[in-house]
Amino acid sequence: MLSVCKSGLVASLVLMLGACGGGGGGGGGGNPAPSGPAPTYTLSGTIALPETAAVDSDTNDGLQSGRVRNNNFASAQAITTPIQLVGTVNVPGAGPVGVNFAAGDADDYFKTPLTQGQVIEMSFVGGTGADDVDVYLVEDGTGLLVGSATSASASKCIQIGRTSVYYIRLQATQGAALYNLRISAPGDASCSITSTSTDPIIADELVVKASARATSTSRAAALQAAGLQSVDGETRGRPHLLRLPQDEDQRATGLARLEHWHRAGAAPRARNTSGDFPGRFRRARRAMETLEYAKRLMATGLYEYVEPNFRVEMLATYAPTEPLYVAQRWSYQQINQPSAMDRILGLALPPSTQRPIVAVIDSGIVNDHPDLQAQISGGYTFVSSSSGALGDGDTPDPNDPSTGADAPNWHGTHVAGTVAAIDNNGKFGAGVAPQALLMPLRVFAPGKSASSFDIVQAIRYAARLSNRSGTLPARAADVINMSIGSSGACPAQFSTEIANARAQNVVVVAAAGNGAHNDLGTAAAVSSPANCPGVIAVGALDARQQQTFYSNSGPTLRLMAPGGDAYQSTTGTGYSDAIYSTLGSFDVSGRTPSFGPLMGTSMASPHVAGVIALMRYVNPAISPTDIDTLIANGQITDDLGALGRDDTTGYGLIDARKAVDEAIALASSGVPPLGIVVASPASISLGSLSSSATMELKLTAPGTETVSSVVSNSAAVTVTPASIDAITRLGMYTISVDRSLLPLGTSFPTLTITTSTRGFNVQLTVIKAATAGSSTASYGRMVVQVSNATTGAALGQVIVSVTNGKYIWSIAGIPAGQVRLIAGTDLNHDFFFCDFGEVCGVYPDTADSIAVTGSMNGLNFAVAPTGTTASDLAMSEVNKQPPKQQPKIRVIAGNAP
């Protein structure tokens, strides 16, 4: 319990007498006045710290013990993990007046070894609603920026993608903030952003889309002030590319002018000097400045979105080195494709039936491959030539230009063949949907990454929307397949253009990513763009119908399909369990068509894209929403894993026969399928900080299913209706956890939702951190105060420093009566302790007050960071202000920190 007032919210303490229950006054309050001198007593005890407790080494408290600056790479504070660290950051002139106020403490750097699967979680709170703190992750060995969290949210995270030594930079971009930095043990938490081993963004490039609410004149003025150049010119309604200044001083000036622009005349603050970035970190500096440019330009309100130009990779992995010419029987049988083809052939559809088009956004295609040549319908190449590191230019030809020197893996050709290779031509193999046509859209130069800017152009082209090429296909694609990905949350440029594509009746399918090590117990979040709204994210199964060791997991995973495992051979054919499809190869005569194995979620995604093409073949009118509903209802899948949808296998394995049957039935009836009850979010992580979360039970489409019960399998978890319909019981529920009933470490309680027709589970993740003392544990100086239980008047106070992981305190002169005892930090030096985001604790934690009838010792209690629960942060996000607090209790005058 971290509350002081009976109503249960966190208290704060400042430099003058105040009250939790109102009223100031002197020492006695509600105690009867004695007839003579009143006896006083001494209270004493120990405040225990969690073993993971730590404090920023340069908070705004000028009297902080052992204070050392940690504001650049050279002075980075060494930390060990797991850790729960509290600290402060501020730009010059922002926040409470303390040691950092004038010059600022905009950056805190930390250095630590981190293991794959650990998660960096940072939550912050400011005082104005405009405060902001970003998180950057730089790998020590390479000097590269390998992760960032720069959204406007007050809670940010990065999951570690590989074991290494890292620098963590927390940067205040506006205002001042108290922050809580937690780094979990491997597997203790999850995050949608996973660090990479290479640059995740293309430094010095921004992808922007103009806002209709601002004028081009205003945008031109902002770009000129910031030193930004338009690469391809602004065109109404579509994204375009901006280039940052190349000179470091010009970039610093441009950032300062942008800050001046969006802060409505506030004086620009000093920028970092090159001395803060040793030579091996200069690439990281450029990447971080690109992200800061994006944030500041977005804050001008002139653009619908402003984002970096992300690097995007092909997702096939572990390709065998020698070709294997084998049948594709096991993977097609796994999705019931032969039965689906029997059903379609039995319909005897006329030759004039429209063939669906599948756009394959990838590395291009071997356009003279006999299994593909007759299937190709148009296509284009979007490969920016503006950046020498990336491109070979745009062209109407989507042919894969790789040479033998490029050592290509023919990724796009392999994916295209799985979708729609022609059948019955006596050559190599067949695709899932040989009735479909292919629209190859190349976004990769040989041996290079793709850029997010090029990918959004390809999405728009496939959807028959205006794009950089100035041309449109004769017909929009029915399905887009993207067997590509990058770590991190879905960028606005992807989500916007995917939504635009769906509005054109295009179904979007993408690979979930190959970043996991499920064989070692380490999961990875679904990649972008698969994690974007409206995308069908596909994970991979092996020939035994088990999740592959590499397949990513998470709340956005929708379906599973064969992705293969080249390290196994279980099908009885003598060949590996990889996925076999069209390829190219080189011999003395040049490029020749070929056929062979790859594995990855890249191979799983086109299985699903092909099935959806079959659905469009038998029912051209079926919509993306219809397909979403059929997936959520479980009508076109075979359930795997836990009952109902789960983070490991989504809604289950795609079943081509079920999908074709449902599409035919929908075409016959013309009535959309009934919706079913689903939970949003589909899984909930409370981490180690949050004590509550919300869950919505809703229908995927109009339907008759209702909720019967929501039951937890753990006594520590309670479910309370917050706002639900009295009859259907659909609506919002509050999930609360009492960690005192849980063991230390990570627990996985389960909610079982029973409906009028079925049941399904929602997985919870709750972490209870250890509370044992540690000789190195510290939260900075601690204020301990005794107050009158009735009036809230302060009776005594002491400020203590940590000793061997403990605060030993003693307060004399306390009169008899009912008192409250509270302890907390004042790291931001605003003369309030236990402020929102500070460390706080009370004694006792089971009652509102204690009775003082004599001196008392052994008053031992614990403290912890406060005000970072999910509900608190959600309210802060809505109001852009810290959550409401009880009336504040002040530090006694003359005894202030």
Residue 602: its pLDDT value, please? 95
pLDDT of residue 198: 79
685 is catalytic: no
pLDDT of residue 493: 94
Query: How confident is the model at residue 134, as a pLDDT?
Result: 94
Asked whether the whole model's pTM tops 0.85, one would answer no
Whole-number pLDDT of residue 716: 94
State the pLDDT at residue 846.
Answer: 58
Residue 523 confidence (pLDDT): 62
For residue 352, count CB atoms less than 10 angstroms from its CB and return exposed for 0-12, middle for 13-18, buried for 19 or more.
Answer: exposed
pLDDT score recorded for residue 122: 92
What pLDDT score was predicted for residue 323? 33
CA distance 760 to 763: 10
Query: Could you confirm whether 249 is annotated as catalytic?
Result: no
Q: How confident is the model at residue 588 (pLDDT cuts 50, 70, 90)?
A: confident
The answer to whether 617 touches 351, Cβ cutoff 8 Å, is no
Contact 582, 306 (CB under 8 A): no
For residue 421, count CB atoms less than 10 angstroms from its CB and return exposed for 0-12, middle for 13-18, buried for 19 or more: buried
Looking at the chain, the whole-number percentage of residues with pLDDT higher than 70 is 84
Mean local confidence (pLDDT), 832-849: 79
Closest to 415 in 3D by CA, of 571, 631, 564: 564
Q: Is pLDDT larger for residue 871 or for residue 753?
A: 753
Q: Quick check: 607 and 331 in contact, CB under 8 A?
A: yes
Q: Are strands 119-126 and 176-183 parallel, antiparallel or unpaired?
A: antiparallel
pLDDT at 275: 47
Provide the residue count of the chain.
Answer: 897
Q: What is the pLDDT of residue 681?
A: 77
What does the pLDDT average to over 186-207? 79
pLDDT in tens, 684-735: 767 666 788 888 998 877 889 999 999 999 999 999 999 999 999 999 999 9
- Catalytic, 411? Answer yes
pLDDT tens-digit profile of 320-333?
Answer: 232 333 557 789 88
Read off the pLDDT of residues 269-311 as tens digits, 9 standing for 90 and up.
Answer: 444 544 467 778 988 999 999 999 998 899 888 999 999 998 8
List CB contacts of 247: < 8 A, sequence separation 6 or more.
none
Give the rounded percent of residues in the chain with a pLDDT score beyond 90: 48
pLDDT reading at 457 higher than 80: yes
- Catalytic residue among 190, 377, 602, 683, which? 602
Q: Sign of the CA dihedral 141, 146, 151, 153?
A: negative
Non-local CB neighbours of 847 within 8 Å, separated by 6+ positions: none
Mean pLDDT over the full length of the chain: 83
Please give the average per-residue pLDDT across 94-117, as a whole number.
91
What digits encode the pLDDT tens for the residues 347-394? 878 888 899 999 999 999 999 999 999 999 999 999 986 444 456 778
Q: What angle do CA 793, 796, 799 make, to 5 degrees?
A: 125
Residue 775 confidence (pLDDT) above 70 = no
Stretch 846-869: mean pLDDT, rounded? 80
* Active-site entry in 411, 414, 607, 829: 411
Residue 643 three-state SS? coil
Max avg pLDDT among 199-208, 537-546, 583-592:
537-546
pLDDT score recorded for residue 635: 92
Task: Report the half-sphere exposure of 871 (CA within 13 A, side-chain side).
Answer: 13
According to the model, what pLDDT value does residue 589 have?
82
Please tell me the predicted confidence (pLDDT) of residue 745.
Answer: 62
pLDDT at 869: 35
What average pLDDT score do residues 494-510 get?
Answer: 97
Comparison of pLDDT for 893 and 83, the residue scoring more: 83
CA pair distance 897, 878, nearest whole angstrom: 33
pLDDT in tens, 62-72: 999 889 999 99
Q: Residues 421, 429: contact at Cβ < 8 Å?
A: yes
Q: Under a CB-based contact definition with an 8 Å cutoff, are residues 437 and 356 in contact?
A: yes
Span 313-322, pLDDT tens digits: 776 443 323 2
Checking if the pLDDT of 889 tops 70, the result is no
Using only C-alpha atoms, the chain has a radius of gyration, in whole angstroms, of 30
- Among 256-265, 413-422, 802-811, the range scoring the smallest mean pLDDT is 256-265
pLDDT tens per residue, range 34-64: 566 789 999 999 997 876 789 999 999 999 9
C-alpha–C-alpha distance, residues 213 and 104, integer Å:
35
Does residue 266 surpass a pLDDT of 50? Answer: no
- What is the predicted pLDDT for the residue at 36? 67
Q: Which of 105, 134, 362, 626 is catalytic?
A: 362
Q: Is the pLDDT of residue 126 over 90?
A: no
pLDDT given at position 782: 93
Residue whose structure tokens are 């610093």: 252
**Between 458 and 676, residue with greater pLDDT:** 458
Amino acid at position 848, single letter: D
Question: How would residue 886 be classed by pLDDT, with cut points 50, 70 and 90?
Answer: very low
Q: Looking at per-residue confidence, does 206 or 641 come out higher?
A: 206
